[in-house]
Structure 1
Amino acid sequence: MKQPPPETALRFIHRDYHPVNVLWQEGKVSGVVDWANACRGPAGVDLGHCRVELAQLYDVATADAFLEKYQRLAGAEFSYQPYWDILALFDILFGPPQVYPGWPAFGFTGLTEQILMERLDLYLLSLLERAGVRP
């Protein structure tokens, strides 16, 4: 994180892209809501934010599956950089992880701070591995 961010094309980004902001109909994405923070920036910002949320709500495997699908759909125009995932993780860790009060309304029940901490620890290890860093 001491290095400057990777050079990347700037895109129109959501800036709060996560599973709860994605609408589904008949098993397909039908829309994305809550564009209050939208701006121009690196696509990796949205990808990283969504992946850290998926790691908390589910696990590393789900975050990785999302990355694989994202890369496949984005094609050659998108180049994955672990930097944005690590930045997204740092973004939320201004203190111990907390269960977002709105998650249960969307069916995410049974989460505890301990579960989030364990999942985020595993996620960080996976990111360091992707970045070629040994913990």
Structure 2
Amino acid sequence: MLEPATLAWLERHLAPGEAVADARPLRGGWTSRICALRTTDDRELVLRSFLTPFFRRHAPGLLTREAEVLALLRTTDVPAAEPLAVDPTGEHCAAPSLLMTRLPGAVRLTEDTGAALAALLVRVHAIAPAERPRPYQAWTAPDRVAVPRDTARPALWRRAVAAIRREPPPFTGRFLHRDFHPGNVLFAGGDITGVVDWVETSWGPADLDVAHCATALALLHGPAAGLRLADHYTTAGGELSADPRDHLYWRLLDALAFAPDAEKLALPWRDLGRTDLTPALLRTRLEDYLAAILERYQ
């Protein structure tokens, strides 16, 4: 499965006499190829490689950032992999790649995880690095929202877009995962054993990480699951925007980035067994979630 150049690079970063004994793909990702490796010393590792032209082009920044963040996280209580080697440009491997240890556990896409996810997010936001990561990037803007052409609720979309047509609210900066959702968290039993995919780590409002995870929960389980996440977060000790209008902005800024039907987000979830997440269902849930956010916060 792995290319000869990639295997040769891997084995230069293993222990003397250690080799790759087995490699198999892991499901659940869409930006990169994720391979589980087992070595002749019976170590479990993970190799992340960017294959598509878009992500190969951005790989130097993404993989370098992730390796640095993983090294930082080794000094915290947030469970994350240990980085072992990185080839951010693909100079040595067949594609830009990051080698890291493998975390125990598996993704859990059930509705009972909201409180645990929120409590972990509070711990992520408490990280105080010596050097701040890059400022957050918004993933949509009022004039970039892809409103569904055949929506039966155009007024809803107009209200939602209008609510983000303003300057971003002031905020207290926090250390953000920036792509925190159930697909990037591993569970074993009732415990969280790891958080993966740190390429988007940035500095910004806690509301934005909460909003992103809430959107994912709303799409997976319905609007009520998304709305509950902020309550779980504050119960766990996290602080969010005090002004409901500001909270509304961050919630909608994230949710509208998945218009028109959130198909991109659902592709890896289907690989993990959620075949019920059809484009039609996702579109309905996204619209229902927009309506629920506007009703609660506007």
> What is the alpha-carbon distance in structure 2 between the residues aligned to residue 65 and residue 107 of structure 1?
24
Residue 127 of structure 1, CA deviation: 0.9
Unaligned 5+ segments in structure 2 are 1-163
Query: Could you say which residue in structure 1 is the equivalent of 2:205?
Result: 42
Aligned: 1:54 with 2:217 = yes
Q: Distance in 2 between matches of 1:113 and 1:105?
A: 15
Partner of 1:91: 257
Sequence identity percentage = 37
Give the TM-score normalised by structure 1: 0.86
**Residue of structure 2 equivalent to 1:101:** 267
- Cα RMSD for the two superposed structures: 1.7
Q: What does residue 124 of structure 2 align with?
A: none
Question: What is aligned with 1:16?
Answer: 179
Q: Does 1:112 align with 2:278?
A: yes
Q: Give the whole-Å Cα distance in 1 for the aligned partners of 2:187 and 2:249.
A: 29
| In structure 2, distance between residues paired with 1:35 and 1:44 | 18
Cα separation, 1, equivalents of 2:255 and 2:293: 10
Structure of larger gyration radius: 2
**Shift in Å at residue 28 of structure 1?**
2.1
Counterpart residue number, 2:240: 78
Label 1:105 to 1:97 Cα distance change in 2 as closer, same or farther (>3 A).
closer
2:175–2:202 Cα contact (<8 Å) kept: yes
Q: For 1:48-95, what per-residue CA distance to the aligned partner results, in whole angstroms no more than 9, with x for missing partners? A: 1111111111111111222211121134x33361211100012122x4
* 119, 122, 128: which one aligns with 2:288: 122
Aligned residue type for 2:268: G
Contact 2:261/2:286 (CA < 8 Å) preserved in 1? no
Unaligned runs of 5+ in 1: none
